[in-house]
Amino acid sequence: MQGKRVAITGPTAGIGRETALELGRRGAQLVLLCRNVAKGEALAGEIAERGGSPAEVVHMDMASLASVREAARAILASGEPLDVLLNNAGLINTERRESQDGYEETLAVNHFAPFLLTGLLLPALQRAEAARIVNVASDAHQFVRSMGFEDMQAQENYRTFREYGRSKLANMLFTLSLARRLEGQGITVNCLHPGAVSTSLGGQNPGVLSRLLPVLLKPFFRSPEQGAQTSIYLCCDEAVADVTGRYFVRCKAVKPRPWALDEGAAERLWEYTQDCVDFVYPQ
């Protein structure tokens, strides 16, 4: 990874942090996309202290499409190629909330934001000799059996795990569609399940339950270090240099549930998302 430029969303905690530290150790030039710039700068300092290259910190609030656009402009401004884009950030809400653009926040942050960011950064990825897009999805796609297009914004009925599972299914369908669209362009697109990992995911929710769950479940979780291994593998390993459109668990390609391979649903989701984020991918 020496000298390769890598952009990571959600790098300041959990899996993202461990991935950033390891990629920095391997010599990558990191672009840390953070909602909390102070935390990003602290991480950049830690990477430098460990002998890594200086990391660039870019502010990005994934609940705001305008912020995603501004972050993409900052990354593109240098004119440098982007070798890897790791769409790592995510959230889970215990109650329905809306993003700054008025969309259901789980879907907005977990799917709309990476869809838009990836599309905007395609020119930089296309300038790289061989680029990789890595999307952190989840086996939570098993919580649902479809995207539920009849109520995409969960206005009629909100269920925490259904909305989270639907957003992760969206990550997988996005991977399927994008891999097909980029075929032959020297850019691979893969997604992964990091495992049940003890991280800060969901920590923004109020209430005693959200604070107790990580404590109660910690003995059953993998550590963030373990959870980061598949992300690191897909970002770095030569064994997957030419692999695209696949779903990985514990560094192995596996077959997901059938509804995560539904090309019709993937196309419908693609069109719906383009309309919502007001961005059409270049042909």
Give pLDDT tens digits for 218-276.
544 567 788 899 999 999 999 999 999 999 999 999 999 999 999 999 999 999 999 99
Ranges of each domain in the chain? 5-277
For 205, list phi and psi in degrees, rounded to 5: -80, 140
More confident residue, 225 or 182: 182
Give buried/exposed letters for 254-263 (b at 16+ CB in 10 A, else e).
eebeebbebe
CB 83 within 8 A of CB 128: yes
CA distance 101 to 276: 9
Give buried/exposed letters for 155-167 (b at 16+ CB in 10 A, else e).
eeebebebbbbbb
User: What is the residue type of 218?
Assistant: K
Which residue carries 């800060």 as its tokens? Answer: 200
CB 178 within 8 A of CB 118: yes
Topology of domain 5-277, per CATH?
Rossmann fold (3.40.50)
pLDDT for 276: 98
- Average pLDDT on 58-73 reads 98
pLDDT for residue 199 is more than 80: no
CA distance 154 to 147: 11
CA distance 210 to 208: 6
More confident residue, 95 or 204: 95
Bridge-based pairing state of the strands 29-34 and 56-59: parallel
Residues with a known catalytic role: 164
Percent of the chain with pLDDT over 70: 90
pLDDT tier, 196 (very low <50, low <70, confident <90, very high otherwise): low
Which residue carries 């890594």 as its tokens? Answer: 52
